[in-house]
Amino acid sequence: MTRREFSMSDIHLALDGELPDDDRAEFERWLESHPDMKAQSARFERDGAILAAALAPILDEPVPSRLTKLASGEVKPRRSWTISLRNAAAAAVVFVAGGIAGYFIASSGSFNEEDLADRLAENAIGAYVTFTASLPHAVDVGADDRAYLEGWLSKRTGLKIIAPDLAASGFELLGGRILPSGENIAALLVYKDKSGNQLSIYMVGEGGEKAKGTYTPEEGGPTAIYWMNKGFGCAIVGSLPRGQLAEVARNAWRQMVEAGAVG
């Protein structure tokens, strides 16, 4: 029998049941003689098992009746797919004419991009000043269950919100809350460090052209470091020295980028 040389890709083939049966025994022997590869394979197998276990409960969830009724023909489709484009266009017109009219007019009229950035920063600083003044009441939902907090804030704001882990900068997450921002809902995450410094991250589903900057409305008052992009605004506010705040902001931003939570 010719000895076949195995490699990493055979590990994937084996895990996925795609390794030819004839190669199986020899592959197992190869694995035994390559402990690093064996560990790799075991690790992938474990990851696959925990992934499957995390998703498995979904199969047992009751199926929403809107789905079963649709498939059984009890309810008609919401729309016909052949005219969906026209419907989408009509819906867009209604949307613009309705909810965001104020914002739409504002952004094409008297408000320029700089004003939008200032407004974002000012709202964020206002939220910081209001809610960190009394820490016990700063948050609606505590940090004990981060996943729940993130899910709740995401749901309410319509954004993908993650609560960055700022332990490396010495800040501990206390929790979060929602608050109004014009016609939108904004999310506020509140942090504090061991010496009592506070920090907040403010996120809202509005923003003009891409922009970033820092904003300190009052000498010696809190500073906001903000980023804005179409439909997304984020500001990190604190009363730390500028360099330290920028460092924390970079850390938070990096995690948000990694999680795809910036747009």
In the complex, the residues that contact another protein under the rule CB under 8 A are 8-9, 12, 15-18, 43-44, 46-48, 50-61, 63-64, 66-68, 70-73, 77-82, 147-148, 151, 154-155, 165, 167, 210, 212, 227, 229-232, 250, 253-254, 257-260, 262-263
CB of 15 to another protein, least distance (A): 7
If the CB atoms of residues 182 and 213 are measured against another protein, the closer one turns out to be 213
236 and 142 Cβ atoms separated by less than 8 Å: no
186 in Cβ contact with 203 (< 8 Å): yes
Taking the complex as a whole, how short is the minimal distance between the CB of residue 229 and another protein, in angstroms? 4
Residue number with CB closer to another protein (163 or 186):
163
List of long-range contacts for 195-199, beta carbons under 8 Å, 24+ apart: 197/171, 197/238, 197/239, 197/240, 198/128, 198/132, 198/135, 198/238, 198/239, 199/166, 199/171, 199/236, 199/237, 199/238, 199/240, 199/245, 199/248
Provide, rounded to whole angstroms, the least separation between the CB of residue 110 and another protein: 25
Query: Among residues 103 and 129, whose Cβ is nearest to another protein?
Result: 103
- Residue 178's closest CA among 225, 135, 131, 212? 131
CB of 203 to another protein, least distance (A): 12
Quick one: 138 or 166, whose CB is closer to another protein?
166
Nearer to another protein, 44 or 126 (CB): 44
Amino acid of residue 260: G
Q: How far is the CB of 54 from another protein (least distance, A)?
A: 4
Considering beta carbons, is residue 97 or 257 the nearer one to another protein?
A: 257
Of residues 57 and 136, the one with the C-beta less far from another protein? 57
Q: How far apart are CB 47 and another protein at their closest, in Å? A: 5
Given a contact cutoff of 8 angstroms between Cβ atoms, the answer to whether 188 and 179 are in contact is yes
In whole angstroms, give the CA distance from residue 99 to residue 158: 15
**In whole angstroms, how close is the CB of 125 to another protein at the nearest point?**
20
Q: What is the dihedral of CA 15, 16, 21, 26, to 10 degrees?
A: -30
Q: Kind and range of the H or E element at 171?
A: strand 171-181
Q: What sign results for the dihedral spanned by CA atoms 204, 261, 190, 199? A: negative
